[in-house]
Chain A
Amino acid sequence: MNPSLETAAHPQDLRRVVIEPLSRVEGHGKVTLLLDEAGHVEQARLHIVEFRAFEKFIQGRPYWEVPVMVQRLCGICPVSHHLAACKALDQVVGATLTPTAEKIRRLMHYGQILQSHALHFFHLSSPDLLFGFDSDAARRNIVGVAAEHPDVARQGVLLRRYGQEVIRHTAGKRIHGTGSVPGGVNKSLTVAERDELLVDAYQVIAWSRDAVRLVQRLFEQNLELYRTFASFPASTLSLVRADGALDLYHGGLRARDASGHTLFDHAGYDRYWELIAEDVKAWSYMKFPYFKTQGSETGWYRVGPLTRVTTCDFIPTPLADRERREFLAFDDGLAARSTLGFHWARMIEMLHAAEAIKDLLHDDDLLGQDLTATGGRREARGVGVLEAPRGTLIHHYRVDGDDQVVRANLIVSTTHNNQAMNVAIREVARKYLDGREITEGLLNHIEVAVRAFDPCLSCATHAVGQMPLSVQLVECDGTVVSALARG
């Protein structure tokens, strides 16, 4: 068997198995496997098959349009792009946020973490965990969960609703709002809005804690499987606050190698390109980032909830921090190193977001009227980084003297996890599929591994690609609407 499984020596002689489209993930992707006659896996790849051109078409636009344009990369985490762009453009306009603006943005962000994590766990991933990876495909979805575990499904729907309502009150609408602007925000909360959100805040904390416990129970019930499934050592990258706390909105970069040694810590993100570079592979539109000091072969790393919860020094809200310590200690620390530990860490973060929302709602700065700061300096460059639900998100813009964006670079969360997800599916292919007759249930094991990362493949496809083929799009009457030929 080919040890790395990235590229088979003689692909033309092999049988192709494809999982397409990947389901219960966000965005467009597929997995291909190449097998020899005896059913041994020779190649396994996660392909990102769509392309956009966001970084290119925002060039030439006025900078203040950017926060509302770029969020349309992703309808699940639009707030992340909205805020990362604003953080970058705060630097361009030279503004230091007012307390009200910073806290409204944080509230919006925690609302987003809550709704996105709830969606991912309850609507997308819980069917695998509650019913089994190779359970009946017809039932393996949120409808099946609603039928068999109505309380779980209902809590998932209501947790997501609460996060969406926090976003609506801060951003103006639930999806693709306009609340944040370069230099601040354009609305704060009214007393009525604040009180409305407070009504359910404690219930949401309680349900979030139930969700953490649910994942813990699933680990206890399936310890052997969960401990090793799709697991592998990986370097890590995340933002941390100056005191080492988990902070999803702002901080410095912390990187560790696979054995836990620090590569850099509290590094300013405004020169991220000195730390990170990207590789391209011909078979995916998604790039492969790596730490420059480690090089492109071994310098890949993992981001997201599992990384954040296991590498921060503490979580600055009490219930989530208690759950973090329990998670780290569980099974002698093996759960915290397992790929399915992503789900546990994600629910701990959801609990943290719920607690942080409750705390913020008790802060009267949210009702303030001082919404925007007028900047003094003008900078040509701005870099905004935050921890999106799926991991570290980097936005980088250059703006000219006419207020036009002249260059944009985005490294989105899921892109950081590209190699890690490929390693995960190869682990699964090796352990569960190699030499066996391939069934739907076995193929779902591959998807379970991908889902653990909660990939956002829409976000990851902002770049464009090329094919050595040609295609024509022809209308009913034979008129060619669109044509492309290359190679």
Chain B
Amino acid sequence: MSSVTRRKLRVATTSLAGCFGCHMSLLDIDERLFALLDRIEFDRSPLTDIKRCGACDIGIVEGGLCNAENVHVLREFRANCKILIAVGACAVNGGLPAQRNHLDLGQCLQEVYLTDPGVARGVIPNDPELPLPLDKVHPLHEVVKVDYFLPGCPPSGDAIWKFLTDLIDGRTPRVGANLLRYD
């Protein structure tokens, strides 16, 4: 055994305007999770109760930007993570949520909360506790510098595993055409 105790890399993850599928795909590494936990520790993540991102080696972001809160969290990640990775179609190019970009937000609001036939007493939610929606859904790189992009909806657990183990071992991540997909 090597006498050098390697410091565990600190990893933060977050889901912005995504569906959690990319986080689920991370868990699709299955029991390799335990091997990963020998090399990393989690900071802010939906899997932990750490609510703010501290100084981290790697930040993994799923989902694009659909509201002011997403932008805030993304900046928090960029400021604290040495390497920031956009994981999945939503983070890379907006993904399916960006399908709403050709719609008029105001009209959607009216249809969903006021004139929908299933709604008895309509009101458009407007409480200060609710973050302001952006009129378009944006990919991450339009707002901060992104170091790596991993496409796929979601990228498979094997692709995420290859990517992370390369990075953790200090190699340039090479996922390879057989693992990459663009669905």
Closest approach, in angstroms, between the C-beta of B135 and any C-beta of chain A? 5
Task: Say if the beta carbon of B69 comes within 8 Å of chain A.
Answer: yes
Task: Say if the beta carbon of A358 comes within 8 Å of chain B.
Answer: no
- Asked whether A76 lies within 8 Å of B20 as measured between CB atoms, the reply is yes
- Asked whether B138 lies within 8 Å of A482 as measured between CB atoms, the reply is yes
A475: nearest residue on chain B (CB-CB)? B142
Docked complex Cα distance between A483 and B68 (Å)? 10
Task: Say if the beta carbon of B3 comes within 8 Å of chain A.
Answer: no
Report A-chain residues with C-beta under 8 Å of the C-beta of B127. Answer: 47, 282-284
- Asked whether B143 lies within 8 Å of A24 as measured between CB atoms, the reply is no
- Asked whether B123 lies within 8 Å of A281 as measured between CB atoms, the reply is yes
- Asked whether A465 lies within 8 Å of B19 as measured between CB atoms, the reply is no
- Asked whether B49 lies within 8 Å of A278 as measured between CB atoms, the reply is no
- Give chain B interface residues in 116-152, CB to chain A under 8 Å: 116-136, 138, 142-143
Closest approach, in angstroms, between the C-beta of A183 and any C-beta of chain B? 23
Report A-chain residues with C-beta under 8 Å of the C-beta of B33. Answer: 146, 157
- Asked whether A57 lies within 8 Å of B19 as measured between CB atoms, the reply is no
Give the residue of A21, A463, A484 whose beta carbon is less than 8 angstroms from that of B113. A463
* Known pairs A20-B51, A53-B103, A466-B124; A285 contacts B21 (CB<8 A): no
Report A-chain residues with C-beta under 8 Å of the C-beta of B95. Answer: 72
Docked complex Cα distance between A215 and B65 (Å)? 39
Report B-chain residues with C-beta under 8 Å of the C-beta of A123. Answer: 27, 47
Task: Say if the beta carbon of A223 comes within 8 Å of chain B.
Answer: no
- Asked whether A146 lies within 8 Å of B37 as measured between CB atoms, the reply is yes
Closest approach, in angstroms, between the C-beta of A189 and any C-beta of chain B? 20
Task: Say if the beta carbon of A9 comes within 8 Å of chain B.
Answer: no
- Asked whether B133 lies within 8 Å of A467 as measured between CB atoms, the reply is yes
- Asked whether A174 lies within 8 Å of B47 as measured between CB atoms, the reply is no
- Asked whether B51 lies within 8 Å of A21 as measured between CB atoms, the reply is yes
Give the residue of A24, A45, A153 whose beta carbon is less than 8 angstroms from that of B46. A24
Beta-carbon contacts of A208-229 to B below 8 Å, as 1s and 0s?
A: 0000000000000000000000
Report A-chain residues with C-beta under 8 Å of the C-beta of B59. Answer: none
Task: Say if the beta carbon of B79 comes within 8 Å of chain A.
Answer: no
What is the size, in residues, of chain B's interface with A at 8 Å between Cβ atoms? 75
A292: nearest residue on chain B (CB-CB)? B120
Task: Say if the beta carbon of A55 comes within 8 Å of chain B.
Answer: yes
Report A-chain residues with C-beta under 8 Å of the C-beta of B69. Answer: 28, 49
Task: Say if the beta carbon of B30 comes within 8 Å of chain A.
Answer: yes
Docked complex Cα distance between A56 and B142 (Å)? 25
Report B-chain residues with C-beta under 8 Å of the C-beta of A174. Answer: 24-25, 28, 156-157
Closest approach, in angstroms, between the C-beta of B5 and any C-beta of chain A? 17
Closest approach, in angstroms, between the C-beta of B133 and any C-beta of chain A? 5
- Interface stretch among A135-143, A191-199, A257-265? A135-143
Report A-chain residues with C-beta under 8 Å of the C-beta of B132. Answer: 467, 469-471, 484
Task: Say if the beta carbon of A154 comes within 8 Å of chain B.
Answer: yes
- Interface stretch among A158-166, A327-335, A337-345? A158-166
Task: Say if the beta carbon of B163 comes within 8 Å of chain A.
Answer: no
* Known pairs A280-B121, A467-B132, A484-B105; A50 contacts B66 (CB<8 A): yes
- Asked whether B97 lies within 8 Å of A52 as measured between CB atoms, the reply is yes
Give the residue of A153, A282, A471 whose beta carbon is less than 8 angstroms from that of B125. A282
Report A-chain residues with C-beta under 8 Å of the C-beta of B143. Answer: 473, 475, 481
Docked complex Cα distance between A481 and B143 (Å)? 9
- Give chain B interface residues in 74-131, CB to chain A under 8 Å: 95-97, 99-100, 102-103, 105-106, 108-109, 111-113, 116-131
- Give chain A interface residues in 34-68, CB to chain B under 8 Å: 45, 47, 49-53, 55-57
Report B-chain residues with C-beta under 8 Å of the C-beta of A97. Answer: none
What is the size, in residues, of chain A's interface with B at 8 Å between Cβ atoms? 83
B131: nearest residue on chain A (CB-CB)? A49
Task: Say if the beta carbon of A287 comes within 8 Å of chain B.
Answer: yes
Report B-chain residues with C-beta under 8 Å of the C-beta of A78. Answer: 19, 21
Task: Say if the beta carbon of A406 comes within 8 Å of chain B.
Answer: no
Closest approach, in angstroms, between the C-beta of B66 and any C-beta of chain A? 7
- Asked whether B51 lies within 8 Å of A466 as measured between CB atoms, the reply is no
- Give chain B interface residues in 29-55, CB to chain A under 8 Å: 30-31, 33-34, 37, 41-42, 45-51
Closest approach, in angstroms, between the C-beta of B179 and any C-beta of chain A? 13
Task: Say if the beta carbon of A173 comes within 8 Å of chain B.
Answer: yes
- Asked whether A50 lies within 8 Å of B67 as measured between CB atoms, the reply is yes
Closest approach, in angstroms, between the C-beta of B9 and any C-beta of chain A? 14
Closest approach, in angstroms, between the C-beta of B152 and any C-beta of chain A? 10
* Known pairs A278-B118, A458-B20; A143 contacts B42 (CB<8 A): yes
Docked complex Cα distance between A29 and B129 (Å)? 11
- Asked whether B47 lies within 8 Å of A142 as measured between CB atoms, the reply is yes
Closest approach, in angstroms, between the C-beta of A61 and any C-beta of chain B? 9
Task: Say if the beta carbon of A176 comes within 8 Å of chain B.
Answer: yes
Task: Say if the beta carbon of A96 comes within 8 Å of chain B.
Answer: no
Report B-chain residues with C-beta under 8 Å of the C-beta of A32. Answer: 129
Closest approach, in angstroms, between the C-beta of B23 and any C-beta of chain A? 7
Report B-chain residues with C-beta under 8 Å of the C-beta of A45. Answer: 129
Task: Say if the beta carbon of A114 comes within 8 Å of chain B.
Answer: no
* Known pairs A23-B46, A285-B125; A175 contacts B21 (CB<8 A): yes
A286: nearest residue on chain B (CB-CB)? B125
Docked complex Cα distance between A473 and B71 (Å)? 8
Docked complex Cα distance between A429 and B104 (Å)? 39
Docked complex Cα distance between A444 and B117 (Å)? 38
Docked complex Cα distance between A483 and B24 (Å)? 32
Report B-chain residues with C-beta under 8 Å of the C-beta of A157. Answer: 27, 30-31, 33-34
Report A-chain residues with C-beta under 8 Å of the C-beta of B56. Answer: none
- Asked whether A52 lies within 8 Å of B66 as measured between CB atoms, the reply is yes
Closest approach, in angstroms, between the C-beta of B52 and any C-beta of chain A? 10
Task: Say if the beta carbon of B61 comes within 8 Å of chain A.
Answer: no
Report B-chain residues with C-beta under 8 Å of the C-beta of A309. Answer: none
- Asked whether B19 lies within 8 Å of A74 as measured between CB atoms, the reply is yes
Report A-chain residues with C-beta under 8 Å of the C-beta of B47. Answer: 23-24, 123-124, 141-143
* Selected A-B contacts with CB under 8 Å, 11 pairs: A24-B49, A49-B131, A72-B95, A158-B31, A174-B28, A175-B25, A176-B154, A284-B125, A409-B118, A466-B124, A467-B126
Given contacts A173-B156, A273-B117, A283-B125, 4 further A-B contacts (CB under 8 A): A53-B97, A75-B24, A280-B123, A464-B108
